[in-house]
Amino acid sequence: MKRLTYLFTLLSVICLAACSLDEEPKASVTKDQIFSSEAGLKTYVYSFYEKILPSGSDLNQIEVELTDFGAINNLPDFQVKNSYSEVNSDGWTWTNLRSINYFIVNCTNPGVSESVRNNYIGIARFFRAYFYYGMVRKFGDVPWIDKPFDVDDPALYAARDSRETVMEHVYEDLQFACNNITMTTDATGSMVTKWAAYALASRVCLFEGTYRKYHNLNLSTSANTWLQRVVDMSKYLMDNSGKKLYTAAGTAKSYRALFTSDVPVTDEVLMAVCSSADLGVLHHANWKWTSPTYGNRFSFTRTFINTYLQTDGTPYTSRKDWQTEGLYNECQNRDARLAQTIRTPGYTRDGVAAAPDFLGYVRTGYQPIKLCLDGTKYDNAALNTNALPLFRYAEILLNYAEAKAELGTFTNDDWVKTVGAIRARSGITGGLTSKPTVIDTYFQKKYFPSITDPSILEIRRERAIELCLEGFRFDDIRRWKCGYLLNMSWDGMYVPKLNVPMDLDHNGTYDVLFYDSDANLAAAKAKLDWATVSKTCAPILVVGGANQLQQVKEVEAGNPAAGYYLTWDTPNDYKRVFGEKQYLYPIPSLVMVKNPNITQNKGWENSASNDGN
Amino acid sequence: MENKLSDIILSLKIGRVMKITMVFLLMGIVQVSAAPYAEEHHISVAVENGTFYDIISQIEKQSEFMFFYKSEEIDNGQRYTLNMRDKTASEVLNAITRNNHLSYRIVGKHIIITKVLSTTQENNKVISGTVQDAQGVPVAGANVTVKGTTVGTITDAEGNFDLKIPANATTLAVSYIGYLTKDMPIGKQSKFKVVLTEDLQALEEVVVVGYGTQKKVNLTGAVDQVTDKVFNNRSVSNVTQALQGTIPNLNISLDDGKPTRTASYNIRGTTSIGQGGSALVLIDGVEGDPALLNPNDIASVSVLKDAASAAIYGARGSFGVVLITTKDPQKGKVSVNYNGNVSLQKPTTVPDFVTDGLVYAEHFREAYYAWNNYASLPSKINKSQLYSDAWLNNYKQRREQGITDEVETGSDGTYTYYGNTDYYHELYKNQTFAQDHNINISGGSDKSDFYISGRYYGYDGLFRYNTDNYDMMNIRAKGSLQVTNWLRLTNNMEYSDMSYHNPINVGEGGSIWRNIADEGHPSSPIFNPDGSLTMSAAYTVGDFIYGKNGLDTHKKELKNTTGFVAKFLNNKLRINGDFTFRNFDDNSNRRRVPVPYSTKQGVTTWLSQSYNDYQKTFGNTLYTATNLYAEYEDSFAGGHHFKGMVGYNYETSKYETSTVLRNGLLLADSESLNLALGDATTTSADWQKWRIAGSFFRLNYDYKERYLLEINGRYDGSSKFPTDQQWAFFPSVSAGWRVSEEPFWKINKNIISDAKIRGSYGSLGNGNIDPYSYLELLSINTSGYVVNGAKNKYAGTPEVKPKSLTWETATTTDIGGDLGFLNGKLRLSGDYYIRKTTDMYTKGVTLPDVFGATSPKGNYADMTTRGWELSLSYSDKFNLAGKPFNYDIHATLADYKSKIDRYNNSTMSLDDYYEGMTVGEIWGYESNGLFQSEAEIQGYVNTIIPSSANKKVYPGDVKFEDLNGNGKIDYGDNTVTNPGDKKIIGNKEPRYIYSFTLNGDWNNFFVSAFFQGVGKQNWYPSAESGFWGQFNRPYNQLPNWHLNNYWTEDNTGAYLPRYSGYTALSGRELSTPQTRYLQNIAYLRLKNLQFGYTLPHKLTAKAYMQNVRIFVSGENLFCWSPLYKKTKDFDVTNTSGSDPDLTSGTSGDFYSYPVMKSMTLGVSITF
């Protein structure tokens, strides 16, 4: 029995030693650990960049649809008649807000000094403003939430707050961010600084001010209050940030350097989404902007290209033969941004002349290059190393100019500092010293027939040209209430004659041949050393029925001898709609199932589709 | 000595029907010329009023003698007083056996004591003979008795016996454990040759259960067991692969045929849609990785299927337990066994793709053009080859002109390709080679014994370049030592080392198979004229040819279990204890460097320049387990037998991993982080620890082996749960009734020999959760975003945790029966079960989106799984050419079906589980035909399923049926209540999983065939599946079976629709599940076929070999499936998704390592 006693003693000792079973993790942290040090706050705040800002791959694609100046392959359902309703709406996603609010509510540990906490809360509120700006643009009224909800919080079932309430909170967030973020210079151009907060404030206030003005929203804070906020915020930034327009690379290169430089050009760029070959963080701009299948084959329309001024500051459409100029001629003596936005004669890739690529990309002849790099080695995967700006000084100048013009306080001096300076950077020599007095009727007629103030028209022209592809256009269309622009037909370059090969950039090789029938193509080939020519020259059929998306229209109806313009997708023009209700998106139908207190935006009720009304 | 023996006696007593002589045979009697020892070794004995045991214990202490006896034959009440000095053993033994009807026999150092032969019988005849098994190997220790008497003896090491028998004796009965008892008429013969045949399904079979063993006949739970036979003579890279299909309702679903591939073990179907969970796998009672185990070491695999059998393991056993038991040492003379085999392996199927570049390119053009509404032509074949109609025309002309040059170099050096490349030929070797060498040495006495084994398995890799070598080494040393007559120590040490080189592609993420589909264009050759790679190659096999990119995994496991067995109270009480530590390293290195290629003569470009890095991952698990348990058993008058066990179990596991990635390799061959010189270093780490503790008990009661009852329970604790939920009690009960043992059972035993009804009920918590699941934690991750010049670490927002929780519970009710017919030749066993998994931890109630987080999960779902399993075996023999032909057939069949009883899906959305759903169901459209004309389309309804870029429908497109008659093809609300035109069209869960094994042996030849399969299963090829060829993406590989099998105006009855690419992308015409393309992937596979020959003992004995066996064996030789009527491009079991190691599994079914078939030649030699 002694042995037994011994064994049972052993057994009970082991038993007792093992009865507490709590285990703490070591590779994750608790809430208290994160909020107890500045390092912890910083670690949390880094998550906002990751979650809320667009990636480089998103940002280079931010404007490949819902613009008036690009012909594209695939229309979003939102634009296609009767294809969009609350059933396929999305974006009612609040995860990131919870993440921000969780930070703001918990960042109270007195072990970290108040100014440090306020700096990080400022950054969090910058991101909250950024988040709400997106929600309000999309849905209008949305619930204002400033805490992470518990499961049983009745506020989960609250109705939407008015746009006015929400935007006032957003403005408070922006003010707090401007006043409490301590960083003012960031050599990496990648962080939220005080100036990024001012820039966001300038952008948000301009949107809200002009939106209220053009949509005639009768709210207690007037459009002008918001426009004055734009002026104040922008002015403070212009006066104190030390930022300026980047001109160091000269007229021909400074503009595009902002988008193709690996390191943000921090002279002008306030904040950018950065890439790094060393860190393996790359985006797919080249792939998207050169592949025949991967991207949307965005190609600028001729109508838009026509708005680029001549070097002397006069409209291109004042040229005598502007209507029948081919690609080569129309690119001469133009605003230097044209050659930095699309492939123009003289454009090379890896030292080889690169005409617009009709075979593999472009539909209209105007192939964008603004956001992608010239090396072909970047083309076939996500390999781009260029940083893409989120906020830059030129935008602030344009915001400032527009707000002042809308307020009616725009002066010649303002013109010189803003649009004048921007045009000067791009080599324009005329009209820089005083605000315009003459209306460019082509521009007005094509784009903004109801605007009669020459300054506002020119500021809008400038905004489109300077900021194209950077993600502003659809917002601008919405706030100016000119959704009709999205229905514009997509035209392309001038084609003097069909069935004749064309050398677009005058480099000695044929680039494209537009033909109207197989027989005519065969005849054209017979006249050429086709085996050689075909290596660079794409034959493109431009005549046909409803399936034929690439077509031509006569410059003068009934007179083929005057030549043609390319068109893209005109058989489907009738499908494109932009009705009144489309200034706001419908709230996804499930949202209202989950919370019946949420009501649908006007016009979208009862699963109504985008029928054009 | 007694205690050693009692190990065996224990198992005898459990049944109490075993013959005493089995004791002896298990001892493995050693025949040494021992007479001298018995004569020379003198002993002294002094006892006063002592028992028989006191005397033999004195003898054992002074000598090397070991005693064998049957305890119930010893009269423990008898007292002796002896005082003998310096006597031989015989003298002492004479003294104690003289007056108590015992006799003794000295065999070497073994002393066998048996009840003395009846003195009333006259022993007037002497007979002799030998006992052998079917292979002619002598059977030592076989029991030879005269039927109906106690006259008997056992055979010696050579299988010989001699025996005096009464004159009136008529029948001789020869028995040996594991063999059928043989009755021989005595007649006038005096020389006997007895051949014993193995009893494969013996009633006496002992089955391993939790913390012990149980005689199969007394089992009340649902337990199945296979022996090492399922592993013998098979060339498989790991145990999991060999176990597949062998046990009904042990469901092992392997994703593909990669040598490292293992799987979690599922028992009886869907477990939980919340925490999930698979079977607990224990190797010799502790956790381990079966994939790292030497298959040759395995003695048996036992599967505890119902809650009652698994309850002893508590919360970890909620979905069954698999117990793998390794072989014990064979006592007796040292035996050395070598098993070796070499095998040739190749994929069961290699896809039959079009390799004619022109045919490929024409179809590429058509597929691209057709999708784009015949309005747009491609300019590239995906990324790696330029396309133009001019090029295609040139290609045609060259073909007509007979130009076979595959590359044309332009004046500027640019290459134009006109290839005809068979990428799969370049990818795979025609066949590869594997070898398996295993040696084990075993032996020992009753004082100590040992088993040492070593194995090397080497697989030369399937890929032609940068091949995937796989090596596994195992060492095991197992032994025991009898410390005192009541205490025995055991130790079991195991070391395994596995390494695998997995080549990877850097050109595009994903696996080689997907990359070949996307970039391996037959129209592009592999090499340029100057020997550089083409771009297509660089994305695909060119990367392998370059040979720098790979993922090397290296797993090492060291495990040691030290234990003891102590026996008390004349072996009625036994105490077992053991302690295990396991150190498991799971390390890997990955290197990615850009691949050079050339599109222009003399110009080298590098593919995937963004990858140039080395990653090292260290993973370590340190696991300890302690078990201590005591058993007591006793019998009482009137046939009552009790057994009780109580025990304690405590386990800890600590897992730690760290990963370091650094870029900027100095050389493309660099193999150390130290030569990674770049700026980007990414580190990450994880750490987890869990502990479990449990006290458990088991009570068994039986009355005359007729009524059986078992009660189990475990009080279980786990650190994975919050403090107030850590402990829970899980009881279970099972009972059995052996109807055939009833006095009223009058059915002839030759017809129904045995009948038993079983039932069990038990409820177990589900402990399969991740540690810290209930804590509000902020994970730390590395950002993919460059801020402040770095990819920073950032903290995530914690999940919202539920406020209160209970355990998920799995409650199993099981009804089973075992029937034996024809004297046990035919056995049928079956179970029906209902497993209710309740309170499953699943998604919470739907909250408004402004909540901003996933609604906290909770105990919100219930599910019922119903299933059954049947197994049938038949064994018999007949004479063929005067020699016995033994054969047996074993068949199994299993099925299960799960239904969701409760789930948070109030809208009944079809994107999620819903109440009433049968798990695995496929919702889709009915599609019976293809549109044959424009007029037919015009007269038909609109569809929301696109079959071309601008959603226009063409003749040849699939015609979906408007089931709800609403005038359009749509999915309504995509809910059960309004599914539009969708309906349930099939189920992807396997049904009627079956196997059958046929064995036969005759005259030293043996043959065995193992078939396995699934009776019913649907599969809908996924969006990117290899099934679709260019219907997926126009540049994909073109399966030969597609040619002339798609709709054209001249081929209107074709199976496939109008030739058009991109229609098998997500949400489009072909990827939308529908009846027309739903596949039947039932199959029948000849998993293993073997044929062998055992060399006659006479021959081998001369070479000092006891047994030599040679065999050929084939794995996966044939497979039949309805799918193969459509395509044989891929193995029918490869449908579960793309390579899970290199992809997220969604880059297309079939794009994974092929299932291999092999032909093996092997030999097994025992010395």
Give residue-wise pLDDT tens across range A364-388. 999 999 999 999 989 888 889 999 9
pLDDT along chain B (1167 residues), means of 10: 39 35 36 52 79 79 76 72 79 73 73 63 72 76 77 77 80 77 80 76 72 86 88 83 89 87 88 89 90 91 92 90 91 86 94 95 95 86 89 93 91 92 95 94 88 95 95 95 92 96 88 93 96 95 94 96 92 92 96 93 86 93 95 88 93 95 88 86 90 93 91 91 86 93 84 91 87 85 90 90 83 94 88 95 90 90 96 89 88 95 90 93 94 92 87 93 90 90 95 94 91 95 92 95 95 95 92 95 95 87 85 94 94 87 84 93 91
Q: Å from B329 to nearest chain A CA?
A: 27
Locate the chain A residue with the closest alpha carbon to B651. A18
> CA A140, CA A585: separation in Å to the nearest integer?
8
All residues of chain A having their beta carbon less than 8 Å from the beta carbon of residue B856 are: 151
Question: How many other C-beta atoms lie within 10 A of the C-beta of residue B419?
Answer: 25
Q: Cβ of A47 under 8 Å from any chain B Cβ?
A: yes
* A8: pLDDT strictly greater than 80: no
Overall average pLDDT of the A45-59 stretch: 94
Segments of A461-561 assigned E as strands: 491-495, 500-502, 512-515, 538-541, 550-554
For residue A290, name the pLDDT band (cuts at 50, 70, 90): very high
B604: buried, middle or exposed (CB in 10 Å: 19+, 13-18, 0-12)?
exposed
Q: Do B777 and A30 touch (CB under 8 A)?
A: yes
Backbone phi, psi, residue B400, to 5°: -65, -35
Predicted pLDDT of residue A14: 54
**Contacts B855 to A, Cβ<8 Å:** 151
Mean pLDDT of chain A: 93
A433, pLDDT greater than 90: yes
Quick check: B1019 and B1007 in contact, CB under 8 A? Answer: no
Helix spans in B921-1075 (H): 934-938
Per-residue exposure over B1017-1050, b if at least 16 CB sit within 10 Å of its own CB, e if not: bbbbbbbbbbbbbbbbbbbbbbbbbbeeebbeee
Per-residue pLDDT at B11: 37
Where are any strands of DSSP class E within B903-979?
Answer: 921-924, 927-930, 942-943, 958-960, 968-969
Burial B240-258 (b: 16+ CB within 10 A, else e): bbbbbbbbbbbbbebbbbb
Separation of first and last alpha carbons in chain B? 27
List CB contacts of A298: < 8 A, sequence separation 6 or more.
A63, A64, A70, A71, A72, A289, A368
CA dihedral B910, B916, B917, B919 (to 10 degrees): 150
CB-nearest partner of B907 from A281, A292, A593: A593
Query: Which of B491, B587, B595 minimizes the C-alpha distance to B541?
Result: B595
Which residue type occupies B180?
L
- pLDDT number for residue B577: 94
| B-chain residues near A352 (CB < 8 A) | none
Nearest to B786 among A4, A274, A291 (CB): A274
Pick from B83, B27, B92: which is nearest to B63 by CA? Answer: B92
Q: How far is B588 from chain A (nearest CA, A)?
A: 20
Does pTM surpass 0.95?
no
Rg (CA), chain B: 35
| DSSP structure class, residue A40 | H
Burial category of B360 from C-beta neighbours within 10 Å (exposed 0-12, middle 13-18, buried 19 and up): buried
CA pair distance A89, A584, nearest whole angstrom? 11
HSE-up of residue B10 (Cα within 13 Å, Cβ side):
25
The C-alpha of B894 sits at a distance from chain A's nearest C-alpha, in angstroms, of: 39
B820 within 8 A of B753, measured Cβ to Cβ: yes
Instruction: Select from A18, A40, A383 the Cβ nearest to the Cβ of B610.
Output: A383
Per-residue confidence (pLDDT) for residue B22, from 0 to 100: 36
pLDDT of residue A548: 84
Q: Which residues pair with A161 in a beta bridge?
A: A142
Look at residue B4 and give its three-state secondary structure. helix
pLDDT of B72 reads: 67
* Rounded CA separation B250/B973 (Å): 39
In angstroms, how far is the first alpha carbon of chain A from the final one?
96
User: How far apart are alpha carbons B1160 and A36 in whole angstroms?
Assistant: 65
* Beta-carbon count within 10 A of B853 CB: 19
| Chain B hits for A92, Cβ within 8 Å | 849
Inter-chain touch B383–A18, beta carbons under 8 Å:
no
Which pLDDT score, from 0 to 100, does residue A319 have? 94
Contact B609 A383 (CB under 8 A): yes
Strand residues in A414-524 grouped as ranges (E)? 491-495, 500-502, 512-515
- Long-range CB pairs of B636-640 (<8 Å, 24+ gap) are B639/B703, B639/B704, B639/B706, B640/B701, B640/B702, B640/B703
Specify the pLDDT at position A11: 53
ipTM of the complex: 0.90
Q: Please say whether the beta carbons of B487 and B564 come within 8 A.
A: yes
Rounded to an integer, the average pLDDT of A463-491 is 97
Tell me the shortest Cα–Cα distance from B744 to chain A, in angstroms: 45
What are the tokens at B251? 């469901």
- Cβ–Cβ gap B693/A10 under 8 Å: no
Which pLDDT score is estimated for A9?
55
The per-residue pLDDT for B1148 is: 84
Token reading at B835: 């497993």
- Determine the distance in angstroms separating the CA of B685 from the nearest CA of chain A, rounded to an integer: 7
Chain B interface includes A52 (CB < 8 A): no
Question: Are B80 and B100 spatial neighbours (Cβ–Cβ below 8 Å)?
Answer: no
- The token pair at A606 is 């009862």
| pLDDT band at A87; cut points 50, 70, 90 | confident
CB spacing of A190 vs B786 below 8 angstroms:
yes
At A3 the pLDDT is 56
